[in-house]
Structure 1
Amino acid sequence: MDNKQTHATEILGRLLAQVLRFPIASGVLRTAVPFLEVLKESSPTLLSHGVLKPSLCIVLQGRKRLQVGNKIIEYTTGDYLAASVDMPVNGQVVEAAADRPYVALRVELTPGEVADVASEARLDLRPEPGLQPGVFVGKPGAEVLEGFEKLFRLSSDARAAGFLGPAVKREMIYWLLQGEDGTLFYKNMLLHQEASGVGKVIGWIKANFDSPFTIEQLAELGNMSVSNLHHKFKEVTALTPLQYQKRLRLQEARRLLLDGANVTETTLRVGYQSSTQFGREYKRLFGLPPLLDIRTIREGGRPLEREVE
């Protein structure tokens, strides 16, 4: 292990010790830093459906598994997971225990923030053309870990967090772009947003998930052919546009039902015209019919779905 790796390992251990003292038993807790969250689980979790938001997540201890389409991604202690688009995924913590919990820190991160840092710092990043999946795993350098440590220290002071936090985030992005995986990180965060039109299509579906569309309309929006849209969209999200829309609809439906909406109202609000079709597709994704699923969650029989970290 060279000096840089040794230094990174020391920071990782120090940061873990600090986070373990944070008052959270399990789940996700947003800190005083507006874009920083602490994640902790004291035992392996069941498979959870959710949406992975654009972010950077560093694992301090434990291991997690994501399923993105048919692809399985595992990340463990010392890895970071970067997501550049909203990704419907399945996830579960696979390594955690009461005396050695899964612990991670997540920073919300947008492609625009990455682009601003790269431009203002005049970084010479010239990735080869071609799309990458909207989520990937890398190794952070010591400077990035120090950024996480600075942010976590700020979480005890709301005023300092609001004022200094954004500057620390920009510093972290700079070191990510300058690191070993910097070109890949840049390409992952920006290329399909700027050049392919996929980001524009994803944004439209997110904003209009309850509305019908044709593939031809999406292709025109993204300024590409229908065949290119199918290929590029699936390369980034591991789903077709229709599958992506369906995941967003059903996850919003589950949220509405948990908030007390009835099935008929929910069916219409998320864009389904047939309650039979809604019930069939809901069961296919979540494993139970809507009302039974919600009752089981409320009785503690299965985990409450949340944004997947």
Structure 2
Amino acid sequence: MISNSETLESVMSRLLDFMSQFSFFHGTFQTNIPFLSLLREVKPSVVESGILDPSICIVIQGNKKLIIGEKSIEYGAGNYISSSIDMPISGQVLKASLEAPYTAIRIIFTSEEIASVVLEANIKPRQENQLREGAFVGNIGLEVLLVFERLLHLSSDSQTAAFLAPTMKREIIYRLLIGEDGGVFYNSMLLHHETSGISKAIHHVKANFDRSITVDQIARIGNMSTSTLHHKFKAVTTLTPIQYQKQLRLQEARRILLGGGVDVTIAAFQVGYESLTQFNREYKRLFGLPPLKDIQTIRAKKT
């Protein structure tokens, strides 16, 4: 039962107060609940490319811009961004300061978890025939935010969280499905996986990102023609299959280089490149800097 005095603003205010007690200044903080993390940035950022993992991320304070393909979306407190696949995106924090940092709460999930809730709760959202991009921005409901609040408080008790947190995660998915943007959430997060075969194609590229694969092979995996594959793959990811593979390779190479102990040549070959020149050129095109300079810049920001 929700109190009449409860509003999105009042709950977000409490969340900000509680989150300020966690001992991290900026970046990502992993809570004791494996699928729950907190995000905080204390100043606006430049546009950065990355991979949005399957997740739901609710903005509590501040504003951010998301670039998906050719579409640019600005969102802020009271919005959530959700993705059902590893989605190549670019993003930029627009509004953040020491006094009012950009703050968000994120949970990771799988399409199978969403499908389980849909089936067990007998939810029948309006289905669309048109494929949607695998990520979108929606409006969060008060009921969902209250579950996030309970979940965050639960993170301080590891034993209780291990038992109750999975149930709360399912409640969050359930309330998103029946909420204001439930139809869009369902059609973006699940429907294309069930009806188009594109999910198999995306998973195949992801599992073999470091290998040489052809568009014909990917099309056969998805049981579709190459022209249909291109159309559906780009509708969901905003990229062609080969462009998607390239983004996965470059993001993994960046992660490897940040881990240290490996030089640029080894990182390039580990992710599937046969030409170091091509790797350096494509890395700079995506991230704006050559590999070593990019890694130095990231590390400098963290100190």
Fold agreement, TM-score > 0.5: yes
Kept after mapping to 2: 8 A contact 1:132/1:187: yes
Other-structure match for 2:62: 62
Structure 1 residue 4, shift from structure 2 partner: 8.0
Give the secondary structure class of the aligned counterpart of 2:223. Answer: coil
Structure 1 ranges of 4+ moved more than 3 A: 3-6, 295-298
Percent identical pairs in the alignment equals 52
Q: CA deviation at 1:17?
A: 2.1
* SS of structure 2 residue aligned to 1:43: coil
Farther-moved stretch of structure 1 (159-168 vs 3-12):
3-12
1:277 paired with 2:303, answer: no
Q: Distance in 2 between matches of 1:71 and 1:33?
A: 33
SS at 2:7's partner residue? helix
The equivalences for 1:204-243 within 5 A come to 204-243=204-243
CA distance in 2, matches of 1:169, 1:108: 9
Contact 2:48 2:287 (8 Å CA) reproduced: no
Match of 2:201 in 1: 201
Contact map agreement 1:46 1:303 (CA 8 A) in 2: no
Distance 1:294 1:129 in 2: 43
- Structure showing greater relative contact order (alpha-carbon pairs closer than 8 Å, 6 or more residues apart): 1
In structure 1, stretches of 5+ residues that fail to align are 305-309
Name the residue aligned to 1:134. Answer: 134
Give the TM-score of the pair, scaled to structure 1.
0.92
The answer as to 2:186 corresponding to 1:186 is: yes
TM-score normalised per structure 2: 0.94
Matches for 1:269-308 after TM superposition, within 5 Å: 269-298=270-299, 300=300
Q: Aligned Cα RMSD in Å? A: 1.8
**Deviation at residue 6 of structure 1 after TM alignment:** 6.0
Q: 1:63 offset after TM fit, Å?
A: 0.6
Q: What SS does the aligned partner of 1:85 have?
A: coil
8 A Cα contact 1:50 1:88, kept in partner: yes
CA distance in 2, matches of 1:56, 1:5: 26
Structure 2: state its 5+ residue gaps.
none
Correspondence 1:1-309 to 2 at 5 A: 7-258=7-258, 259-298=260-299, 300=300
* Cα separation, 2, equivalents of 1:112 and 1:5: 36
Q: Which amino acid aligns with 1:273?
A: E
- Aligned residue pairs total 300
Contact in 1 for aligned 2:44/2:96 (Cα 8 Å): yes
Distance 1:106 1:291 in 2: 30
